[in-house]
Structure 1
Amino acid sequence: MNIQLKNENFILHSTGAVFWEKQKTVIISDVHLGKVTHFRKHGIAIPQNAVSENFRKITAVLDHFLPEKIIFLGDLFHSTKNAEWNLFEEWLSNHKQETYLITGNHDIIDESHYKKIGVIVTEILEIDAFFFTHHPTEKEDLFNFSGHIHPGIVLRGLGLQTLKLRCFFCKPNQIILPAFGEFTGKYFLKPSSEDTVYAIAGNDVIQINKE
């Protein structure tokens, strides 16, 4: 799905990533690496292959768009360092894009660890008419990219059936990205007349009519 924001073209990808064409930048939110390993350590039965699935998805996005830059919009890691940090370090060594992490509430790993592997850590990033945060934030004259909420939408059919989907939730001056990671959950939002919802249905991104 191609959308225009501030006269710039962005592509919404079915993984939950966004590609900014002019800047050749991939934007991803709420991967929550380490969450699967953390849960399994505490006896929660989550398939081990969910760990590799996060890396497979990010790699697929990079192979598709061939970006020069990656911006992670916070909650890249779910908690403290565990075995998935080593996987991330190995994965990053095979990808040479300039990489930014906008710190989120789950990002408690010390910045020095990221610095050692070449990740630039910051609370806010501004590029042209856009600014990037973890929590949805309003700032005059700038368009905000954020995550944190893990937005979802509930679609209801004529037969009272419901379908719950991840979505990109777009306000007049802001877009909230869906969670990229496996087993991250959804928070269901109800759009106003000013909002536009782009739901993820399998491999497709579909615009939902405004209410």
Structure 2
Amino acid sequence: MTIKIENCHFELHTSGAAFWKDKNMLLISDVHLGKISHFRKFGSAVPQKAIAKNFSELTKLVEHFSPAKIAFLGDLFHSSLNAEWDLFEEWVNLVTSEIILITGNHDIISPLKYEELNIKIQPMLKIGNFRLTHHPEATTADFNICGHIHPGFKLNGKGRQQLKLRCFYKSQNQLILPAFGEFTGNHYLKPKEEDQIFAITENEVILVN
């Protein structure tokens, strides 16, 4: 689904990423690379193939949009270095887009490691009337695009059926992106009347309120 914000066009993708068409920029939040390896290290029964899925989905996105820039809105890696860093290096070397990391609370890997891969790191990025951050910021001067919350929405049916879906959460001055990564969990929000929820199904993004 394509939405218009401040006269700019954003395509909301079923992966949880948003493509800023006017800037040819792909926005991705909360991938949490390394989380699956971290869980497996401590005995959690998380399938090994889930690691490959994160990188496969990232590759599909880049091939689909061919962005000039990719901005990760924080929590790219879940914790300290592990075997998934090697996979990340391989992935970066295949990508021609400029990569920017806006740091999140989980991004504790040394900036030097990112610099070696020509990845720019910064706490926020301001582009025109837009302010890209990891944590949501209350602002009236700029429109804030962020992550961190892992927004989800519970869609209720007539017979007590309930679907729990990831979503894009848009309020007056803010768009919160869903978590991109596998096994990241969701925080189920209760929207205000003026807010918009764009729920993610397997095949499409749907405005549900």
- When the two structures are superposed, what TM-score results if normalisation uses the length of structure 1? 0.98
Q: Note the residue ranges of structure 1 that are not aligned, 5 or more in a row.
A: none
Counterpart secondary structure, 2:114: helix
Conserved 8 A contact 2:155-2:164: yes
1:196 Cα offset (Å): 0.1
1:44 Cα offset (Å): 0.3
Q: Distance in 2 between matches of 1:19 and 1:159?
A: 36
Counterpart secondary structure, 2:9: strand
The residue correspondences of 1:31-180 to structure 2 (distance < 5 A) are 31-180=31-180
Q: Distance in 2 between matches of 1:97 and 1:138?
A: 30
1:36 Cα offset (Å): 0.5
1:138 Cα offset (Å): 2.2
One-letter amino acid matched to 2:191? P
1:74 Cα offset (Å): 0.3
Off by >6 Å, runs of 4+ in structure 1: none
Moved more, 139-148 or 116-125: 139-148
The residue correspondences of 1:193-208 to structure 2 (distance < 5 A) are 193-208=193-208
Q: Distance in 2 between matches of 1:203 and 1:57?
A: 14
Conserved 8 A contact 2:140-2:173: no
Q: Distance in 2 between matches of 1:69 and 1:55?
A: 17
Q: Deviations over 1:125-179 (max 9, x none)?
A: 0011111100001223211110001000001111121110000000111000000
1:102 Cα offset (Å): 0.6
For the aligned residue pairs, the C-alpha RMSD in angstroms reads 0.7
- Matched with 1:8 is 8
Q: Distance in 1 between matches of 2:203 and 2:32?
A: 21
Identity of aligned residues (%): 53
Conserved 8 A contact 2:99-2:120: yes
Counterpart secondary structure, 1:165: strand
1:46 Cα offset (Å): 0.5
The alignment of Structure 1 onto Structure 2 pairs a total of residues equal to 209
Q: Note the residue ranges of structure 2 that are not aligned, 5 or more in a row.
A: none
